[in-house]
């Protein structure tokens, strides 16, 4: 495994191996506390992040490694006009592995073409977010006991939501999954992903009202309307409150449904839902650290 740019870079077997290793780490964290001693992770974050950046850093530190990098383009030589290619050529002199987030689609791919060390895409624009997808898969498998034979609702910004795009691509490879795609007309799933789903003969349905389909779901994956992806404020303001999950809507859902969200949330999940045992988005955050620990071990070829 050289680089991870999008979820399909991993075979289903490799995904299973990473999830299995993550569960072993969850069961016995001290056994892995020195596995990356002497190794360095570079976090190159050209746009803001809380969970992804900190979970990568926490993952490496808990493996006994160390971390260097930057948390915004303003604090890097990108402000001076340095290219991604030159940045990665420089950083590989200091680190053993890179996690990179960039607002432009394809930037992580560009970095990987010029890197002699593994590059992990930590989110590139509205394109892909493979480590969030691994987090989502681990969360679903751990809480539902399977990856397959369930109905998942994806709600909110399906046009720009890179977490949604990555998750759909990953779940396409499992049997018996029905997708419910809930969004306003302006934020529907991109045509190229819809075409992929149709080509593979996947079961999916599009809807505009969450209330009409929430009772059918085993998993509800909420997303925020992303202000940073809009070209004008008017469109953002008009669409930002399209879907708000609250206690009233939760009453329509199955008792064993789980609610996930890649976070951050703005107001698309009311805080009253946090106390519902079906709300699993903060558990999801913790699973993200463990799955990134497993991924780092695998990509560095560390015996685990």
pLDDT band at 221 (very low <50, low <70, confident <90, very high): very high
Which two three-digit tokens encode residue 249?
């809507």
pLDDT of residue 230: 44
Q: Per-residue pLDDT for 232 more than 70?
A: no
Per-residue confidence (pLDDT) for residue 241, from 0 to 100: 60
229 exposed, middle or buried (CB, 10 Å; 0-12, 13-18, 19+)? middle
- Can you give the pLDDT at residue 48? 83
Which of 3, 35, 127, 129 is the catalytic position?
Answer: 129
Q: What's the pLDDT tens digit per position in 126-135?
A: 668 899 999 9
- Residue 89 bears catalytic tag: no
Compute the distance between CA of residue 73 and CA of residue 98 in angstroms, rounded to an integer.
16
**Lowest mean per-residue pLDDT among 32-36, 121-125, 239-243:** 239-243
Q: Starting from the edge strand earliest in sequence, which strands make up the sheet with 177-182, in order?
A: 203-207, 177-182, 150-155, 219-222, 258-260
Active-site annotation holds for 163:
no
227 catalytic, yes or no? Answer: no
Candidate list 3, 40, 101, 102, residue with the active-site label: 101
Residues 32-46 have a mean pLDDT of 97
pLDDT-derived band at 237 (thresholds 50, 70, 90) equals: low
pLDDT at 304: 77
Q: Is the pTM of this model over 0.85?
A: yes
Average pLDDT, rounded, for the chain: 90
22 contacts 292 by C-beta, under 8 angstroms? no
Catalytic residue among 80, 185, 200, 209, which? 80
Residue 77 has a pLDDT of 61
Mean pLDDT check: name the lowest of 106-115, 173-182, 228-237, 258-267: 228-237
Confidence of residue 229 (pLDDT cuts 50, 70, 90): very low
User: What number is the average pLDDT over the span 281-287?
Assistant: 96
**101 catalytic, yes or no?**
yes
Q: Give the active site residue among 52, 151, 163, 223.
A: 52
Structure tokens at 168: 């759909």
* Average pLDDT over every residue of 139-150: 95
Phi, psi dihedral angles at 40 (to 5 degrees): -125, 135
Residues 6+ apart with CB under 8 A from 296: 36, 41, 59, 60, 63, 65, 97, 302
Active site residue 139: no
Reduced 3-state DSSP string for the chain: CCCECCHHHCCHHHHHHHHHHHHHHHHCHHHHCCCCCCCEEEEEECCCCCHHHHHHHHHHHHCCCEEEEECCHHHCHHHHCCCHHHHHHHHCCCCCEEEEEECCCCHHHHHHHCCCCCEEEEEECCCECHHHHHHHHHHHHHHHCCCCCEEEEEECCCCCCHHHHHHHHHHCCCCCEEEEEECCHHHCCCHHHHHHHHHCCCEEEEECCHHHHHHHCCEEEECCCCHHHCCCHHHHHHHCCCCCECHHHHCCCCCCCEEECCCCCCCCECHHHHHCCCECHHHHHHHHHHHHHHHHHHHHCCCC
């Amino acid at each position: 495994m050289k680089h991870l740019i999008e979820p399909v870079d991993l075979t289903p077997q490799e995904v299973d191996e990473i999830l299995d290793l993550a569960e072993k780490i969850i069961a016995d964290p001290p056994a892995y506390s020195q596995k990356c001693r002497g190794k360095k992770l570079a976090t190159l974050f050209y746009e803001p992040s809380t969970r992804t950046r900190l979970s990568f850093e926490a993952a490496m530190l808990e493996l006994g490694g160390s971390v260097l990098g930057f948390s915004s383009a303003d604090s890097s030589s990108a402000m001076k006009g340095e290219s991604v290619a030159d940045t990665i050529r420089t950083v590989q002199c200091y680190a053993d592995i890179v996690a990179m987030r960039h607002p432009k689609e394809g930037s992580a791919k560009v970095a990987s073409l010029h890197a002699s060390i593994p590059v992990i895409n930590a989110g590139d624009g509205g394109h892909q977010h493979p480590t969030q997808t691994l987090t989502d898969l681990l969360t679903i498998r751990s809480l539902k006991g399977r990856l397959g034979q369930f109905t998942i609702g994806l709600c909110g910004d399906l046009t720009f939501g890179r977490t949604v795009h990555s998750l759909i691509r990953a779940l396409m490879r499992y049997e018996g999954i029905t997708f419910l795609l809930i969004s306003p007309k302006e934020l529907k799933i991109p045509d190229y992903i819809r075409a992929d789903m149709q080509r593979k003969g996947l079961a999916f349905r599009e809807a505009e009202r969450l209330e009409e389909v929430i009772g059918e779901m085993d998993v509800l994956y909420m997303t925020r309307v992303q202000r940073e992806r809009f070209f004008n404020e008017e469109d953002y303001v008009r669409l930002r409150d399209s879907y708000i999950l609250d206690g009233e809507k939760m009453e329509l859902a199955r008792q064993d449904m789980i609610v996930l969200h890649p976070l951050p949330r703005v107001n698309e999940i009311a805080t009253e839902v946090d106390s519902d045992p079906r709300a699993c988005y903060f558990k999801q955050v913790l699973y993200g650290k463990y799955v990134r620990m497993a991924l780092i071990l695998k990509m560095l070829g560390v015996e685990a």
